[in-house]
């Protein structure tokens, strides 16, 4: 198999292990499957309204069920397109065409670039040419060509990966272009082998992927089953995990910038507002944050003001947005709906963030019954090294089952 060492760790993780930051774990889906399978029949569809890199599609497709997957972050959506078994045949054909005509790969004259930007001018021109080449070999299928190009574009980027934070890329630095053609060919070979191996394991190849904001989207049908996991409230901007690829989409290929305003859980709180939160647990938590801020007022002004200006609005917004997203989700479900939600409660300012309990409140308020199917203690995934051993990085993972009672 080809060597994919020269592309970003995010796509190496996806290509080698099908995992990205915050993906479903197999063991979590096994727990869900052992319960949901009692209700499922052959043609059923499982809905994931915030589907990330498509962990649910892969798992349930292998078990023989159809899925529908909504995702806001474009690179995550394009990854789903790339691995959707419905597209595998076409992608392998594009790869075969490209590899047959390696001599047509566009040339870069420069051996390297040193830049403060994410991409040098030369790299931008080159990515455009490479995209055109893929498009020419894809019968002009822009979506497949984009999906195929994106995992490789970090090969041309000037960036430094953060040693402590897996979602952070610092823009600027050195990028060597030499050997890129070999790397591209290796990536294509790796992907082709992986997709053809995966294809064998799918019992169901009908899956639908949609790039949309759950709060805005309209669907023509209602669904009975959903399996999902919300973004974690951990001040990480999920769009930044794919900063390199979003730059390419926004500035080189698609040129219509995605609005990340509704990216739930993202760390940008300034200028945003939130409405009334109905969950008792979430309200208790945000009030505790403010009480903590008041207690800190005398001895630590900075911590007090951090809570008031950042953490309080961040969490109030998070809980409000999750509530609105699930109210919207409920409108897309039938009256005998059954769902499973994988969530993590982390700790902030030494207070447990009650994500699981608040989600139960949200569903109870909409007339659902809820039960905590499984609970596990996990260490934080995201901070590498010393930070990971701190108390604030301990998480409790819950698998919540919700069902509508008529």
Ligand X SMILES: C[S@@+](CC[C@H](N)C(=O)[O-])C[C@H]1O[C@@H](n2cnc3c(N)ncnc32)[C@H](O)[C@@H]1O
Residues that bind ligand X (CB under 6 A): 22-24, 50-56, 70-73, 76, 213-215, 229, 231, 238, 262-264
Total Cβ atoms within 10 A of residue 348: 18
Nearer to ligand X, 15 or 127 (CB): 15
In the complex, what is the shortest distance from the CB of residue 232 to ligand X, in angstroms, rounded to a whole number? 6
In the complex, what is the shortest distance from the CB of residue 366 to ligand X, in angstroms, rounded to a whole number? 18
In the complex, what is the shortest distance from the CB of residue 73 to ligand X, in angstroms, rounded to a whole number? 4
In the complex, what is the shortest distance from the CB of residue 51 to ligand X, in angstroms, rounded to a whole number? 6
Q: List all residues 6 or more positions away from 235 whose beta carbon is below 8 Å from its beta carbon.
A: 267, 314
Q: List all residues 6 or more positions away from 240 whose beta carbon is below 8 Å from its beta carbon.
A: 167, 168, 169
CA distance 101 to 96: 9
Nearer to ligand X, 72 or 157 (CB): 72
Q: List all residues 6 or more positions away from 322 whose beta carbon is below 8 Å from its beta carbon.
A: 230, 264, 355, 358, 359, 362
Binning the chain into helix, strand and coil, the percentages to the nearest 5 are 50, 20, 35
Nearer to ligand X, 231 or 356 (CB): 231
In the complex, what is the shortest distance from the CB of residue 213 to ligand X, in angstroms, rounded to a whole number? 4
Distance of CA 226 to the CA centre of its chain: 17
Nearer to ligand X, 183 or 213 (CB): 213
In the complex, what is the shortest distance from the CB of residue 42 to ligand X, in angstroms, rounded to a whole number? 24
Q: List all residues 6 or more positions away from 277 whose beta carbon is below 8 Å from its beta carbon.
A: 283, 286, 316, 319, 320, 323
Nearer to ligand X, 23 or 279 (CB): 23
Distance of CA 378 to the CA centre of its chain: 19
CA distance 233 to 349: 13
Nearer to ligand X, 70 or 145 (CB): 70
């Amino acid at each position: 198999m080809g060597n994919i060492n020269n592309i970003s760790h995010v796509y190496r993780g996806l290509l080698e292990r099908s995992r990205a930051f915050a993906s479903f774990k197999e063991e979590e889906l096994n727990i869900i499957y052992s319960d949901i399978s009692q209700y499922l029949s052959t043609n059923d569809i499982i809905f994931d309204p915030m589907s990330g890199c498509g962990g649910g599609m892969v798992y349930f497709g292998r078990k023989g069920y159809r899925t529908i997957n909504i995702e806001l972050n474009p690179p995550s959506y394009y990854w789903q397109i790339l691995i959707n078994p419905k597209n595998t045949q076409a992608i392998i054909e594009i790869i075969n065409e490209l590899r047959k005509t390696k001599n047509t790969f566009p040339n870069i004259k420069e051996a390297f670039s040193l830049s403060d930007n994410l991409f040098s001018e030369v790299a931008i021109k080159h990515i455009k040419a490479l995209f055109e080449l893929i498009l020419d070999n894809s019968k002009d299928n822009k979506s497949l060509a984009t999906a195929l190009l994106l995992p490789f574009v970090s090969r041309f980027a000037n960036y430094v990966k953060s040693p402590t934070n897996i979602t952070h890329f610092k823009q600027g630095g050195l990028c060597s272009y030499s050997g890129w053609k070999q790397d591209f060919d290796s990536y294509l070979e790796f992907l082709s082998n992986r997709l053809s191996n995966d294809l064998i394991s799918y019992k169901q190849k009908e899956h639908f992927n949609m790039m949309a904001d759950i709060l805005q989207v309209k669907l023509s049908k209602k669904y009975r089953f959903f399996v999902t996991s919300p973004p974690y409230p951990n001040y990480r901007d999920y769009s930044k995990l794919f900063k390199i690829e979003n730059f390419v989409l926004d500035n080189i290929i698609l040129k219509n910038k995605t609005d990340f305003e509704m990216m739930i859980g993202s760390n940008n709180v300034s200028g945003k507002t939130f409405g009334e939160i109905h969950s008792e647990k979430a309200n208790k938590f945000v009030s505790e944050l403010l009480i903590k801020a008041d207690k800190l007022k005398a001895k630590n002004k900075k911590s007090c003001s951090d809570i008031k200006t950042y953490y309080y609005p961040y969490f109030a917004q998070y809980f409000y947005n999750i509530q609105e997203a699930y109210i919207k989700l409920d409108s897309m479900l039938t009256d005998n709906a059954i769902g499973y939600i994988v969530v993590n409660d982390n700790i902030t300012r030494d207070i447990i963030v009650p994500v699981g309990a608040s989600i139960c409140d949200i569903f109870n308020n909409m007339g659902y019954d809820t039960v905590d199917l499984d609970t596990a203690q996990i260490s934080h995934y995201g901070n590498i090294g010393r930070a990971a051993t701190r108390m604030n990085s301990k998480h409790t993972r819950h698998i919540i089952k919700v069902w509508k009672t008529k």
